[in-house]
Amino acid sequence: MMRREEAEFILTEVEALSGLTAETVRSWRRKGYLPPIKAYAKITVTELAALVIRKRLTNYGFGPAESQHVADRHAPLLLYYAVLDTVGSCEVRGTLQALLQFEAEFDRGEDLAKEVAGVEGSPATVLVSIDGSELVAEAVQALDIGEDSGDGYFINLRGLGRQLGAAAGKPLVKIQLPVPDGDRSRQLTRRFPR
């Protein structure tokens, strides 16, 4: 069982990465639209991903209360795409053999990236609303926009995940791979994807 730790961000980083002002974040926290800060005014990368989504939703007229559930539910997808698509976004520590196994599994498919990000099921690529309908998560190829659709919007989860991963400037997730009892092999650190 691997041990997972999310990167943390201070408020100035949150402001730069999410597009929300520090005052907006403080106001939302005071009004209960964000959870209380645990320590040192830092938030995790999943909380930051939720703020990135919420900022996009405010651009479409959603208020902080309306955006909370949608953003919290889909924030792991931003982390998933950041881990999947951003070089060095996942820092892994373990023995050489364990790192080689991790890399082989990471390269084989998307399952390990989903596990690292906490995503279950088939990941959606975008959040979309057509003609004012409910905001739904879809894979890009599943979008069926009718010829008569006059209005709508979408939030590109994969694109936002890539932007977050590239702009963060540090690993978003740190993983400690298990070490079998009695194994005294040297612990190494590598970043994935390479």
Return the number of other C-beta atoms located less than 10 Å from residue 44's C-beta.
18
CA proximity to 123, closest of 73, 163, 168, 172:
73
- Give 6-31 pLDDT, tens digit per residue: 999 998 999 999 999 988 988 998 89
Low-confidence ranges of the chain (pLDDT < 70): 38-40, 130-134, 138-152
- What is the structure's pLDDT at 149? 47
Taking alpha carbons only, the member of 117, 121, 124 closest to residue 90 is 117
Q: Does 131 map to a domain?
A: no
Evaluate whether 99 touches 92 at the Cβ level (below 8 Å): yes
Using CA of residue 38, residue 39, residue 42, residue 46, what is the dihedral sign? negative
- CATH number, domain with residue 168: 1.10.1660.10
Asked whether residue 193 is domain-assigned, the answer is no
Question: For position 139, what pLDDT does the model report?
Answer: 60
pLDDT value of position 4: 95
Domain assignment present for 151 = no
Give the chain's end-to-end CA distance (angstroms, integer): 23
What's the total number of domains in the chain? 1
| Residue 35 is assigned to a structural domain of this protein | yes
Could you tell me if residue 59 is inside a domain? yes
Task: Give me the phi and psi of 10, to 5 degrees please.
Answer: -85, 170
**What's the pLDDT score for residue 26?**
85
